[in-house]
Structure 1
């Protein structure tokens, strides 16, 4: 099974907290968890059962420009083999172009330093 969530226009090298609602999936049951995947940019923080399904909270680092799709797998803790793939889709723009447009459930929680910016710790030669 596949679920998808669009998060809007993000700015490169920024970190975002994304919270979305996953509708109830009967074959997963009540207790689900994230299957660890080797993805440095998308990390599941919590999965909480709610009346409408599951509230999923994750952190995402916008690491390159373009339309990006990151995947996570959620699995049942009680039913063997029951899992769902969730695709998070973001449009990531360069630091100097436009204003981010975050959709509901998305908030910026930080920015990475640019190597070639004035924010770096390098002060040059004396």
Structure 2
């Protein structure tokens, strides 16, 4: 005999269930949040890159992600998602502003340029 509560489903641009119906270019307003609206950034990895990211204290994404990585600022929470085992690691903290090519050879053999050039230095917190 509890009170019935009215629920509401939001289907706007920021709703994950609505992302599939949008083209990548229509998501740009969502991905280009101003620095004051960006609370944290999730970086991705696999088993091969996880240890290097943690030992090098550097997270990186493909260059196309610079649109919001450039809004990373020191002290911002950063999370790390392993796509293989579906684990979210964190919380890390940005130790630099996000920028291009902090280490242009990260995640390579040192001879080729990285594919993950939108980067931020980190400090591990938890």
- TM bucket, shorter chain: under 0.3
Compare relative contact order (CA 8 Å, sep 6+) and give the higher one, 1 or 2. Answer: 1
TM-score, with length taken from structure 1? 0.26
TM-score, with length taken from structure 2? 0.26
* Structure with more strand by fraction: 1
* Structure with more helix by fraction: 2
